[in-house]
Amino acid sequence: MKILIFGDVYGRVWRNALKRELPKLQKQFNPDFTIVNVENITSGRGPIEKHVKEIEKLWVDVMTGWDHIFDNQKNIEEYLDAPDSKLIRPANYQEQDHYYLPWKGYKIVEKNWKKMLVIHLMWTVFMNYSMENPFHKVEKILKELWEENFDSIMIDFHKETTSEGYGLAHFLDWRVSFVFWTHTHIQTNDELILPGGTGIISDVWMNGPLYSVIWADFNSVKKRFLTGINKWKIEQQLDENYVVNGICVEVWEDRKTVSVEKIRIRWKL
């Protein structure tokens, strides 16, 4: 089984870049499933339904949302809560009886006689959110679904630092197929398969502006760097140079990862 995974799609220009490149990559790799992060898809913020449906048309099976998932909550909530929604939120938001959080933090996808589970988690270090412990939450989900027979189990772990990512991957070694980490917008060079067969990479990188400060126009953040004062507005880098980043993960029948291939395409719209 092959799974294509793409990091942060950032705004209008890079929605168009993904529309251009993804069909070619799907033809090249012939994946069984495709996972795309839509964290910043709407002008650098959380998704709206219109933009999610644009990505859905590209034969995408699962979309993950991360810490900006509720930025446009009124617009996206109905879609997020629909039974056939391809968008999932982090599973470890702390749910309360008096406040309903739409949909679940995982999705089961079945296609061409193959079955994939995608679980979406978020950590709290430097994230300014009070989340349920992701180690406890993923344990609950795996126990809840223990009778299911999955061909692959993929974990999108949204975090700022790498130590908890490595900790989670070792915690889940042999029980899941792959743990990929997101949010930092820089593709790492540490793809690895653990002894139990679980594959990992610290970050799959963003799909966004090539000449930028992890998406931002440098001149808009320069004063912040020089003064340490965060009062100036950060602007997107909106030139035509883009980068599309992702990985292709191959998983064998025993749910173990056997290869990880990085993808990086630089071009102009």
Q: What pLDDT score was predicted for residue 44?
A: 65
The runs of H, that is alpha helices, within 1-130 are: 11-29, 49-56, 73-81
pLDDT band at 100 (very low <50, low <70, confident <90, very high): low
Q: What angle do CA 85, 248, 16 make, to 5 degrees?
A: 60
Q: When comparing pLDDT for 184 and 25, which is higher?
A: 25
Residue of 93, 36, 39, 24 whose CA lies nearest to 61: 36
What local confidence, expressed as pLDDT, does residue 42 receive?
Answer: 82
Domain spanning 2-268: CATH superfamily: Metallo-dependent phosphatases (3.60.21.10)
Measured CA to CA, the distance from residue 102 to residue 110 in angstroms comes to 22
- Which 3 state secondary structure label does DSSP give 117? strand
Quote the pLDDT of residue 95.
Answer: 67
State the alpha helices, DSSP H only, in 97-235. 134-144, 163-171, 218-227
Of 222 and 127, the structure prediction assigns the larger pLDDT to: 222
Helices (H), the chain: 11-29, 49-56, 73-81, 134-144, 163-171, 218-227
Mean pLDDT of 89-95: 79
Looking at per-residue confidence, does 174 or 101 come out higher? 174
Do the beta carbons of residue 9 and residue 41 sit within 8 Å? yes
**Which pLDDT score, from 0 to 100, does residue 101 have?**
59
* Beta-strand relationship, 192-193 and 114-122: unpaired
The pLDDT, as a whole number, for residue 115 is 97
- Residue 76 and residue 48 in contact, taking contact as beta carbons nearer than 8 Å: yes
Is the whole-model pTM more than 0.85? yes
Q: What is the pLDDT of residues 138-192, one digit of tens each?
A: 999 999 999 999 999 999 997 677 788 899 999 999 999 999 987 677 788 899 9
Which of 15-24, 39-48, 93-102 is the most confident on average?
15-24
Give the model's pLDDT for residue 129.
63
Between 42 and 97, where is the model more confident? 42
Across the chain, mean pLDDT equals 87
For residue 51, pLDDT over 70 is answered with: yes
Sign of CA dihedral 65, 70, 75, 79: positive
